[in-house]
Amino acid sequence: QNTRNLWLQYDLVTDPVVLRTYKEQLNAVDIRSAALNKQVIQDELQTGILSMLGKHLSFTSSNAEVVIAKLKDLDANEKQQVSKTPKLESDGYIIKTIPKGSKDVILISGLSDNSLLYGTFHFLRLLQLHESLSDLDLVENPKLSIRILNHWDNLDRTVERGYAGFSIWDWHHLPGLIKKEYIEYARANASIGLNGTVLNNVNASAYILQDEYLDKVKALADVFRPYGIKVYLTARFSAPIEIGGLDTADPLSSEVQRWWKDKADEIYNLIPDFGGFLVKANSEGQPGPNNYGRSHVEGANMLADALAPHQGVVMWRAFVYSDEKPEDRAKQAYTEFIPFDGEFKDNVLLQVKNGPIDFQPREPFHPLFSGMQKTPLMMEFQITQEYLGGMSHLVFLPQLFEETLQSDTFIKGKNSTVSKVLVGDLSGQKVTGIAGVSNIGTARNWTGHPFAQANWFGFGRLAWNPDLSAKAIAEEWLKMTFSTDPDFVEPMSTLLLNSREAVVNYMTPLGLHHIMAEGHHQGPGPWVDGLAREDWTSVYYHKADSLGLGFDRTASGSDALSQYGTEIEKAYSKIETTPEKYLLWFHHVPWDYKLKNGHSLWYNLARHYQDGVLKVEDMISTWEQMQPYVDEYVFRQTQMLLNIQLKESKWWRDACLLYFQQFSNMEMPAFIPHAKHALDYYKSIQRPYAPGIKPSWD
Ligand code: BDP
């Protein structure tokens, strides 16, 4: 494998029967339409087929076995053959075998140029997975329209919460130097159906909106266009002051409104298909409408008005927790945004993190997904592993994404999943979307940990279809990246699918959350206390005392539970009926309380920490068997990283159990090995230079 090529390895098909069949089936391709990306499609097919089958395709209109054409460019016979296929959306496509004269032809068709690109990548995927090319009858429509990466990349090329090197955007040399990686990046995204990218950090510099930088942004937009990727930018709310020379950024000021309209016109003049703005306002010190006594709606709608004439959108983030109101942080976004439901302009989407706190290893879904029914909601997942071990831990995130997407909100009765809310099945929202905070950088293999590539891939696949299973994604990724051999795919997909629960266990089992070390978030820090804000400390979240552990979010506590609607509230209001995975999220539970297995909370806590460590040991022994299937360096690299993960899982276990034992005052269960150090040692570990921190705000 060449890890630069990600899941597009296009390995030579080794099974001789499959290879012979494919070779017979594929000689010539007729690409009839796709003015925008005809060359991209042709190059991809040539590269893929040459590499997988060892033969060159010819591109010709006569006698081709594959026809790639928009529906309107099909001939009468072809049109008739596809007349009964289900309705296609603009990015959707069909791949269908149809008879033509004496032979079969595979038709890849759709409404737009991009649909043909997506259909082509799907077709190549079939070969990568060694699937049959006979009697194809596939129809694919993306379930979400905005499928986007969020780069938390700064203009100085550092990446906030990035663990894979520096930003791939070489601002200094743009627009003159177009790097090969920009093209590789666009191609990788297109292959999984992603269609947008926000280039700069949510903690934004206004500078990116200066003319000089807009020329650089335009250069990237031009590279991405044939791959169907639109460019978006994070807009810093105070930009009219910082780069516009105004003395206010008040959204109701006509001068400010004018400034944003002019800025939007200027951008669209350069980039006619510019996607729009992402905004982090009045959150963690970022400027916003509240600074002028205005609301989130007034701020978002002002920007929406500037973009509307150009069909641009505003993605307004719901990640807010005020420093004035001492409410449970888990409640704040809901409390702040619910009153505005239905008041946003049509081109505003509210971008909501998957859970109500902050990208933890496990959180219940964000209650805005059930509460805010008259506003288009966009999901924000974090692909970079800020709270899940940075680049050092192997964690297959599609498992986490699937858990959120398939959570039941009950808003229209049973089976009202978050995924249905997002795609608009329950509320009829017209603009839909999903964002993933990118995990890529200048690392040779893009993501640092070789297995973090799976999280980029998995996010893209779920953005196309949020109902795909993590298992199916794991299998696809393993086959496309490493090997289709079942002796590899089966044990490795089990490994991937267990990896998320492992990290939950050794970091934050039973609903614990936000007990990471301060600032870098990569080690344990349940003792963190006394920071500028209470809700940045760990003690605020776990509330350990001599009686028990956990945050009471029921009516007797912060009452955050009531934001979830009656079904969930009823079920989770009692300890006995709350799923154990969310236990300490919603309840303060006595140390000796007996869980379902008849053992105390303290015993179970220890059990989970230990299970997490054991799961990492299992991962290591599975991996040891995989040497024959993977490149030597990737094998060693992953082995070394897994050993780091094992060491860190023990660090988590020992530090957390020693810390919590001070409160439980109970014996350490016998299955917990004696910790190598005393608690003070773990408390003294500092990592001032851990990657991904942005000192300016932390
Ligand atoms: C937190 C990160 C911080 C981000 C913030 C956000 O620690 O770096 O700026 O989320 O999403 O998780 O805005």
Question: Pick from 275, 261, 370: which is nearest to 305 by CA?
Answer: 261
Q: What is the 3-state secondary structure (H, E, C) of 81-131?
A: HCCCCCCCCCCCEEEEEEEECCEEEEEEEECCHHHHHHHHHHHHHHHHCCC
Written in H, E and C, the secondary structure of 119-162 is: HHHHHHHHHHCCCCCCCCEEEECCCCCEEEEECCECCCCCECCC
Take atom 2 of ligand 1 and give the residue whose Cα is closest: 161
Which atom of ligand 1 is found nearest the CA of 358?
Answer: 12
Domains of the chain (ranges; CATH) run 3-140 (3.30.379.10), 146-468 (3.20.20.80), 505-551+588-684 (3.90.1330.10)
For residues 274-293, give the mean pLDDT: 97
Q: Is the CB of 160 under 6 A from ligand 1?
A: yes
609 ligand 1 Cβ < 6 A:
no
Sign for the pseudo-dihedral over CA of 578, 584, 589, 593:
positive
User: Could you tell me the distance, in angstroms and rounded to a whole number, from the CA of residue 192 to the centre of ligand 1?
Assistant: 26
d(CA 376, CA 144): 12
Q: What is the largest CA-CA distance in the chain?
A: 81
Question: Using one digit for the tens of pLDDT, what is the confidence trace for 173-228?
Answer: 999 999 999 999 999 999 999 999 999 999 999 999 999 999 999 999 999 999 99
pLDDT confidence of residue 102: 87
DSSP assignment, residue 600? B
Atom of ligand 1 nearest to the CA of 437: 11
Mean pLDDT (whole number) for 410-421? 97
| Tens-place pLDDT, residues 226-278 | 999 999 999 999 999 999 999 999 999 999 999 999 999 999 999 999 999 99
Tokens 């810390």 found at: 659
With tokens 């927790």, the residue in question is 321
Instruction: Evaluate whether 408 touches 180 at the Cβ level (below 8 Å).
Output: no
Q: Is 296 in the pocket of ligand 1 (CB under 6 A)?
A: no
Beta-bridged to residue 589, according to DSSP, are 549
Beta strands in 22-70 (DSSP E): 28-31, 58-59, 66-70
Q: Which of 203, 236, 360 to mutate to test the pocket of ligand 1 (most atoms within 8 A of CB)?
A: 203
Counting atoms of ligand 1 from 1, which one is nearest the CA of 280? 13
Cα 195 from Cα 114, distance rounded (Å)? 9
pLDDT in tens, 327-349: 899 999 999 999 999 999 999 99
Ligand 1 atom nearest the C-alpha of 152 is 9
Q: What is the atom index within ligand 1 of the atom nearest the CA of 380?
A: 11
CB distance 280 to ligand 1 below 6 Å: yes
Ligand 1 centre to CA of 400 (Å) is 18
Which mutation among 351, 358, 522, 533 tests ligand 1's pocket best, with the greatest number of atoms within 8 A of CB? Answer: 358
Residue 654 in contact with ligand 1 by CB distance below 6 A: no
At residue 325 the predicted structure's pLDDT band, cuts being 50, 70 and 90, is low
Check if 203 has its Cβ closer than 6 Å to any atom of ligand 1: yes
* Amino acid in position 593: Y
CA of 435 to the centre of ligand 1 (A): 14
- pLDDT-derived band at 106 (thresholds 50, 70, 90) equals very high
Residue 697 has pLDDT above 60, yes or no: no
**Does ligand 1 come within 6 angstroms of the Cβ of 359?**
yes
Ligand 1 neighbourhood includes 331 CB (under 6 angstroms): no
- Mean of the per-residue pLDDT values of the chain: 96
Per-residue pLDDT reduced to its tens digit, 86-105 = 889 999 999 999 999 889 99
State whether the beta carbon of 363 lies less than 6 angstroms from ligand 1.
Answer: no
Q: Tell me which residue has its CA closest to atom 12 in ligand 1.
A: 358
pLDDT score recorded for residue 694: 63
Is the beta carbon of 386 within 6 A of some atom in ligand 1? yes
Catalytic residue positions? 284, 358, 386
Instruction: Give me the amino acid identity at 511.
Output: G
Query: Cα dihedral sign for 624, 630, 633, 637?
Result: negative
pLDDT at 698: 36
